Chains A and B, each alone.
Chain A
Amino acid sequence: MTAKNFSTEIRRATLRCLHSQGSGHVGGSLSVADALAVLYTHHMDVDPQNPKRPQRDMLVLSKGHAGPAWYATLALKGFFPMDWLDTLNKIGTKLPSHANLTLTPGVDMTAGSLGQGLSCACGLALGLKAQGDTSHFVYVITGDGELQEGQNWEGAMFASHHKLDNVVVLVDNNKLQIDGETQNVCKMEDLEAKFRAFGFETTRVDGHDHQALHQAICNAKVRNGVPHCIVMDTVKGKGVSIYEQMGASNHSTTVNDEQYALALSELQ
């Protein structure tokens, strides 16, 4: 399956997952679907039959509330049955709203309390190096609003100082957060410049352009002693008109029968 088709499948399965609960983190799940499609089509060296295999690429979805999009991706890749998607947030589920590494096959790190993912990824990246694994990477997807959490910059400083060139940060730069536009809530200026100031090599791409994203990730996988950051310009709620038009309030919203049917009709 091409990444393009795969991203449509991810969005459909994401909405199936959210619809099973009737609501959830719609906007940020849809904005990150293309990044997940490109990563899992072209880059992630993982084995659905052996998700904890030591020699593997790892993903930290630091914006853990996009768990449903990750679950959709992992189910489609065969890490677990598709019908698990209908168990979101039900008592005893393996698919909690925010990703948890102890529960879900293919989830490499817990996230949800924003700002911790890059630091955890640094630990995973040190672990890869300590095991002598020079062929695998740790990908971290952060939100843009999430970068208001100061710990991200502790992690960035550390990754650079310790030459963690096996870390690739992807910023889902959808420019919205719960209380509104990031630039109005607490503006972060030029994200690329910020990461560069912390010692990263950076690039900026259309986060819904699969070819551009694929190329950017290929470029980021050059082992040159520095960590890499890709700022992905995205649209929160991407792919479903009602959610795109909702703006910041699509962060956590309903997926009722009518909305679900409309979304599926658009996601062909």
Chain B
Amino acid sequence: MELRKAYVAEMARLMKQNDKIFILDADLSGAGGTKTLYQQFPERCVQCGIAEANMTCIAAGLSASGFVPFIHSFAPFSTRRVYDQIAVSISYSEQNVKIVGFDPGIETTYNGGTHMCFEDFALMRALPNFVVMDIVDDVQLTKALPHIAQHQGSVYFRMVRKQNKQFFGEDYNFQWGKADKICSGSDVTIVATGTTVFDAKVAVEKLAQVGISAELLAIHTVKPLDEQAILQSAQKTGIVVTVENHSVHGGLYSAVCELLSAKHPTLCGAIAVHDQISQVGSLNDLKIAYHLTADDIASKAQQLVQAKRG
């Protein structure tokens, strides 16, 4: 199921349970899918128009009144465009606002360039009182949303509106703040977040074909990081490769390196956007352009494993 459909279905359920939840949009209720909630909950769905700064602060005001607002826009406009509003009125003010970033990084494809945000993890990780998440599929989203709504504090989560490939089975056990071990391995740890887990999983299979045993950790929460899971795996394999649809600066690679350098220095490679500007293109072409393919992941892992083996 498309993430936006899963999102609306679960939000409708949560809004029935919890009359404190508000939905706020900035002219993307149709694109993001929340429009259908306006008929069901007219008193708690607020159209703000094309005014993201205003929407962000309205959410802060609602939160200060005890409500739980969810605000929505494309990832660049729900984070970097309104960063000071988030920093002052939400983070510094210790409010409880849930910020949704649609179509992060290369997933924005033909709206790339202006709408392509490689910085949202970096920005949002730097703010106190924020949990930062990257959602993979409808199963994970549906299971994460009740936790996001209940969490006493602000959450930023990014998701690809039209992503309809299922990664997790229906029996997926979402655990707040915990990494998901997709498969065990002994030679290299691959730590992937968001929709990159699909290619990371393909990379694991490719590595198996050349005799490399890779362990795959899927990270839905970039901050706070599941330190224990990453450290345990790094201690076992001795090599880590991070995979993210984000700049190499300030995102998952940074978070993992910050952890490893302090607690278990480990060789760590990055599959990420390396200081390149954004552009338009198909998803596949963008993956190739930014070196985010399954082959890129596998060859980076293979290169590090071979270097270590000498």
> A: which residues have CB within 8 A of B?
54, 100-102, 108-110, 112-113, 115-116, 119-128, 130-131, 151, 154-155, 157-158, 161-162
Contact = CB atoms under 8 A, between A and B. Distances in A.
Given A123-B61, A127-B65, A110 B92 contact: yes
Nearest to B48: A158
B66 A151 contact: no
Given A128-B65, A130-B67, A113 B57 contact: no
Contacts of B6: none
Interface of B: 22, 43-44, 46, 48-49, 51, 53-54, 56-67, 69, 84-85, 87-89, 92-94
A101 B65 contact: no
A109 B67 CA distance: 15
Contact of B53 (A109, A123, A151): A151
B93 A158 contact: no
Contacts of A162: 46
Contacts of A123: 57-65, 69
B183 to A, nearest CB: 44
6 contacts: A109-B64, A110-B93, A116-B89, A120-B64, A127-B64, A130-B67
* A interface SS class: helix
B71 to A, nearest CB: 11
B65 to A, nearest CB: 3
Nearest to B82: A151
Nearest to B59: A123
Nearest to B63: A123
Nearest to B53: A151
Contacts of B85: 113, 116, 119, 151
Given A100-B92, A119-B53, A162-B46, A113 B84 contact: yes
B53 A130 contact: no
B58 A120 contact: yes
Contacts of A124: 61-62, 64-65
B77 to A, nearest CB: 13
Contact of B88 (A112, A126, A128, A158): A112
A130 B56 CA distance: 18
Nearest to A149: B53
Contacts of B53: 115-116, 119, 151, 154
A120 B84 contact: no
Contact of B61 (A54, A115, A119): A119
A54 B64 contact: no
A101 B67 contact: no
B54 A151 contact: yes
A116 B88 contact: yes
A133 B62 CA distance: 14
B58 A113 contact: no
Contact of B57 (A100, A125, A127, A151): A151
A231 B32 CA distance: 39
A116 B84 CA distance: 10
A160 to B, nearest CB: 11
B94 A102 contact: yes
A155 to B, nearest CB: 5
Contacts of A128: 65
Nearest to B54: A154
A157 B51 contact: yes
